[in-house]
Amino acid sequence: MRSKFGIVIGAAMVMVLAAGCSSSSSSSGGSSASAGGSGGATATGSPVDVGAPLPDEVKSKGKLTVGVKCDYPPFGYIDESSKNAGFEIDIAHQLASYAFGDPNALTLTCVTGSNRVSFLTSKRIDLIEATMNYTQERAQTIDFSTPYFDSGVKLLVPKDSPITSFGQLAGKSVISISGATASLWLSQCMKDVKQSLFTETSQALTALNQKRGVAFAQDDTLLLDLAAKNSALKVVGDAKADSPWGMGVRKGDTQMLTWLNAALAHLQQADFFWTDFRKTVTDTSVQQQFAKYVPRPGSNLTYPSGSTLQC
């Protein structure tokens, strides 16, 4: 689905909140579905030689199995036709096209911040592509690809809230997503904050509207979208734990990591990330806010050398 930043969140949140919605059931249970749409990928043809071989274990299956977000528009969500959609979903289709010559040679498995790494290490998925910031702590468990997006953590609060910074959260209840960078940063840097943890964006947003916390801490990319849709909310605070997103593969799986990085380099050289982001997010003012957040030909994103969870 192609839509403005504000419109896409509304449709996706309706789908997530509806009983029996794919994203709700599969986010918690990790169910999988074969991809039904090719997003921005090329038509069926021959695999693309990216300069590194696809691992035999993946090649023998004839498809990629990718862990993705299903409640995080416009990056990964379930659209009105109950299909996976979003910026990261389009990238996954393109990776399948490179690997097998078919953008739909792909199984998309809904994951959350709390289960995506365990799904990878238990071999339920081949790789994670689920709005995952790089941290040194995560890099001890999995190997990260080269980055393909960037974001930091900010706060979503009611329009009339007096809160304007993280420093005002001391001793208060703050809503966050289990396993997300925001939650990790709060645990390390604001130990006197009481976190109300949820697994899905829709749950966190409902909790904020019900005043079960004074703020929702999460990636600024998502919060700006939520605020654009809901005039009763606003985004505040300086960005914390700013770090690029990377895909994750099993620790020590050098062949998979080499193929994935080579494929991402092809996408960068073709300016796929920026082109697809503009197709996904058609609001030009929002596009400009995130123009520096994607790798482009001659312009790379890099991971920080130190901890991203600095207080």
Q: Report H helices in 3-138.
A: 5-17, 22-29, 56-61, 87-100, 116-121
Task: Give the pair of three-digit tokens for residue 235.
Answer: 């985004």
Q: How confident is the model at residue 14 (pLDDT cuts 50, 70, 90)?
A: very low
Burial code (b: 16+ CB inside 10 Å, e: under 16) for 275-308 equals: ebbbebbebeebeeebeebbbbeeeebebeeeeb
> If phi over 0 gives left and psi between -120 and 50 gives alpha, with beta otherwise, what is residue 149?
beta
- My answer on whether omega of the bond before 74 falls inside 30° of 0, hence cis, is yes
Name the residue type at position 122. S
Task: Give the pair of three-digit tokens for residue 86.
Answer: 């979003």
Full strand arrangement of the beta sheet holding 127-128: 32-34, 106-110, 64-68, 127-128, 248-250, 142-144
Helix (H), strand (E) at residue 52? none
Does the pTM surpass 0.85? The reply is: no
Q: Considering just the CA atoms, what is the radius of gyration of the chain in Å?
A: 18
- Top CATH class of 152-242 equals alpha beta
- 283 vs 198 pLDDT, higher one: 198
* Residue 175 · residue 204 · CB < 8 Å: yes
Q: How far apart are CA 131 and CA 118, in angstroms?
A: 16
Full strand arrangement of the beta sheet holding 173-177: 194-198, 173-177, 215-219, 149-158, 233-245
Task: Give the pair of three-digit tokens for residue 243.
Answer: 């770090």
CATH of domain 5-37+52-148+246-287: 3.40.190.10
Q: Across all residues in the chain, what is the average pLDDT?
A: 87
Residues of the chain with pLDDT > 90, as a percent, come to 68
* Cβ partners under 8 Å of residue 5, min gap 6: 74, 224, 225, 228, 281, 282, 283, 286
- Of residues 108, 90, 4, 99, the one with CA closest to residue 40: 90
In the chain, list all ranges with CATH 3.40.190.10: 5-37+52-148+246-287, 152-242
Q: How far apart are CA 108 and CA 254, in angstroms?
A: 22
The predicted model gives 90-105 an average pLDDT of 98
Q: How confident is the model at residue 33 (pLDDT cuts 50, 70, 90)?
A: low
**Is the model's pLDDT at 28 over the cut of 60?**
no
**Is the model's pLDDT at 53 over the cut of 50?**
yes
The sign of the dihedral angle between the CA atoms of 86, 91, 94, 96 is: negative
**Is the model's pLDDT at 16 over the cut of 60?**
no
Model confidence pLDDT, tens digit, residues 134-183:
988 899 999 999 999 998 899 999 999 999 999 999 999 999 999 888 99
DSSP 137-157: TGGGTEEE----EEEEEEEEE
Least confident residue range of 188-197, 229-238, 301-310: 301-310
The predicted model gives 49-78 an average pLDDT of 95
Secondary structure of residue 31 in the 3-state scheme: coil
Quick one: pLDDT at residue 17? 37
